[in-house]
Amino acid sequence: MRKHFIDNLRWMVILLLVPYHAAQAFNTWGELNYMVFESNKAISNIVVFLSPFYMPIMFLLAGMSTRYALKKRSYSQFIMERIKRLLIPFLFGTVFFCPIMAYIGDKTNFGYEGSFFGHYKVFFTKWTDLSGFDGGFGVGQFWFLYFLFIISLVGLGIVALVNRIGRNKNSNGDIPFLVICLFVVPLPLLYDLLVVGGKSFAEYLYIFLTGYYILSNDKVIEKAEKYRWITFLIGLVAGILDVYMFIWSGKDYGLINTIAKAFTEWFMILALIGIGKKKFDFHGKVSKYLSSWSFLFFSIHFVWVVLFQYWFSDLLINNTVLLYFVPVILAYLVTFICSEVCIRISFLKFLMGTK
């Protein structure tokens, strides 16, 4: 039986990408971005609060989905699907969308004066940190696709090995809720392992496998649903503390801040799974439609955020509220329109990983 709340949580999280990516331009910690405006603590709260859990839950949902998918697909069928859904849209998005954002990053941050098409040479020959903020080669939001592609293959290898040695008995439902909570413990140790472009392969592989082996079990999902408000409260308090220590305190809390981040990540994930199972486990015309173009929205949204921030930067530079909200609103509108157009064009659906 399909878990509709997984699909619904996925498109809900993807919709958060617009305000999240728009807020990065106002960050208070001096991180480079395609567009950089005067730092704003209130707007930066959005980034710091969402960062610990909003992409990890995508990897956890992917792990859960993998468990269900492998009940109906062979390993080779699963790999082919991952190539179509992840690798092809990663390659297309990196070549088609990322040069636009890198060009704007080079113009605004480093004063590039050449043409857009002339900048392609810069994009494909300048290699730094894969962000593209400096005009060099970058993967933008598509880091998620290549991370998930590699993690899916590694995870599949682990699953195949575990199955082969006969240790894949599904007894996870007997895990007490307090033990499930303890899955937070390894997270602070993983943040600095196998880091590429500021993201940890180790962290996301751990979350993916936890989704596959633990949160895909119906009894564990029931426990997440039962204790959803407890985990939400823990995650919320930890998130507020994380935001305070990182943005507002003016001090470096080091390990304490890292622990708060880990608690925010794991307990908000548990809360969202529980709330999703309770409130969003349904399938209707709207949810089906939003699920169908979620990958299109994911691929298209960031370039419009950057473009509208660029186009309105001079006009609204003295009004921070409008400079944030106008690009957000317009990016939502135009991304919806573009998604609606693309979903009707077969080869674009294929290139952007949409069924």
The region that residue 166 occupies, defined by phi over 0 for left and psi between -120 and 50 for alpha, beta otherwise, is left
Q: CA 254 to CA 74: how far, in whole Å?
A: 45
CA-CA distances (angstroms) from residue 140 to 125, 131, 301?
17, 6, 11
Residues whose CB falls within 8 Å of the CB of residue 31, separated by 6 or more in sequence, listed in order = 24
- Assess contact for 352 and 90: CB atoms under 8 A: no
- Token readout for 316 is 């609204």
Handedness of CA 166, 224, 60, 355 (dihedral sign): positive
Would you state the pLDDT for residue 97?
96
Q: CA 143 to CA 147: how far, in whole Å?
A: 6
Would you state the pLDDT for residue 285?
87
| Residue pLDDT, tens place only, 115-161 | 999 999 999 999 998 899 999 999 999 999 999 999 999 999 999 99
Length of the chain: 355
Could you tell me the pLDDT band of residue 166, with boundaries at 50, 70 and 90?
Answer: confident
Instruction: Select from 132, 79, 57 the least CA-distant residue to 101.
Output: 132
- 168 pLDDT more than 60: no
Instruction: Select from 4, 63, 10, 73 the least CA-distant residue to 217.
Output: 63
- Assess contact for 101 and 302: CB atoms under 8 A: yes
Q: CA 123 to CA 145: how far, in whole Å?
A: 20
Q: Which helix (H) or strand (E) holds 151?
A: helix 143-164
Q: CA 225 to CA 304: how far, in whole Å?
A: 36
Q: CA 29 to CA 134: how far, in whole Å?
A: 17
- Assess contact for 143 and 93: CB atoms under 8 A: no
| Residue pLDDT, tens place only, 229-287 | 999 999 999 999 999 999 999 899 999 999 999 999 999 999 999 999 999 998 888 88
- 354 pLDDT more than 90: no
- Assess contact for 19 and 305: CB atoms under 8 A: no
* 14-23, 183-192, 221-230, 345-354: least confident range: 345-354
**Over residues 55-74, mean pLDDT:** 95
DSSP state of 130: B
* Domain extents in the chain: 4-351
- Assess contact for 59 and 204: CB atoms under 8 A: yes
- Assess contact for 130 and 138: CB atoms under 8 A: yes
Q: CA 145 to CA 85: how far, in whole Å?
A: 9
The half-sphere exposure of 218 on its side-chain side, counting CA atoms within 13 A, is 4
Tell me, rounded to whole angstroms, the distance of Cα 179 from its chain centroid: 26
Which residue in the block uniquely carries the two structure tokens 């590694």? 154
Mean pLDDT of the chain: 94
